[in-house]
Copies of this chain bind each other. A is one copy, B any other.
Amino acid sequence: MTNTSSLSRADGRKFNELRKIKITPGFTKHAEGSVLVEFGETRVLCTASAETSVPKWLQGGGKGWVTAEYSMLPRSTHTRISREKATNSGRSQEISRLIARSLRAACDLKALGEKSITVDCDVLQADGGTRTAAITGGFVALALAIAKMKLAGLIPAHAEPLTHYVSAVSVGLKENAALLDLNYEEDSAIGTDLNVVMTHDGRFVELQGTAETVAFSRQELDAALDVATAGCRELFEAQAKVISSYFPSLKI
């Protein structure tokens, strides 16, 4: 491996440095949980909507459900994309499913009871890493909704539907170096990247490595996982600043 610590990035970050992370709770007022998450210039509005019922195929089983939808606003990106494509493209549906699986890994659906929570992740501005920002912010929106449901008595006080923190980050592989949290410019220049979703106990929920140009070696993978693990740790801390008071027993 290259001695990555000497690599310079266009925006001056170190190879293992996240962009400026900002999580603003209560960005909109109607949703049970609402968060604006910013990874540098990437901004995603995450809202969690609670319902006191579950989809048909789950009814009567005593378990809840968490799902997610991801979409980009038409001009969140360099050139306008159609609404149809922004919501229904294969890419958007694939990311929606990824977010949903990731958030379910944060939950004990039995403890949630027969309730549903839908987390909408709408990209207001895209600058790379929208899916990882969506998972990281969507988790906070989900946690806020659960806190609100407990306050409202929809979930019993003793129940603990939230069992883990979940965050996500991307790593790019370039000339044997692993670069944390790519922005759009970097992402365009780098063919291969890895999206890593982790729980706060250091385990993997999702791992998606894609080599658009050159396949990657086992050694490169190892370096990327090291960087990603440290990055997720920082994200857990940013999340905890917003939600730890509601979930005192969940220590990161």
Interface residues of chain A, those whose CB is within 8 Å of chain B, are 28-31, 34, 41, 43, 45, 47, 49, 51, 69, 71, 73-80, 83, 87, 90-91, 93-94, 96-97, 101, 105, 118, 120, 122, 124-126, 164, 194, 198-199, 201-212, 214-218, 221, 225, 229
Contact = CB atoms under 8 A, between A and B. Distances in A.
Nearest to A215: B203
A31 to B, nearest CB: 4
Nearest to A210: B206
A93 B87 CA distance: 14
Contacts of A101: 210, 212
Contacts of A206: 209-211
Contacts of A125: 28-30
A45 B124 contact: yes
A198 B225 contact: no
Nearest to A80: B49
Contact of A97 (B90, B202, B207): B90
Contacts of A194: 207
Given A45-B124, A221-B225, 9 more contacts: A28-B76, A29-B41, A51-B80, A69-B83, A80-B118, A90-B93, A204-B209, A204-B211, A206-B210
The residue in A34, A78, A204 that gathers the most chain B C-beta atoms within 10 A of its C-beta is A204
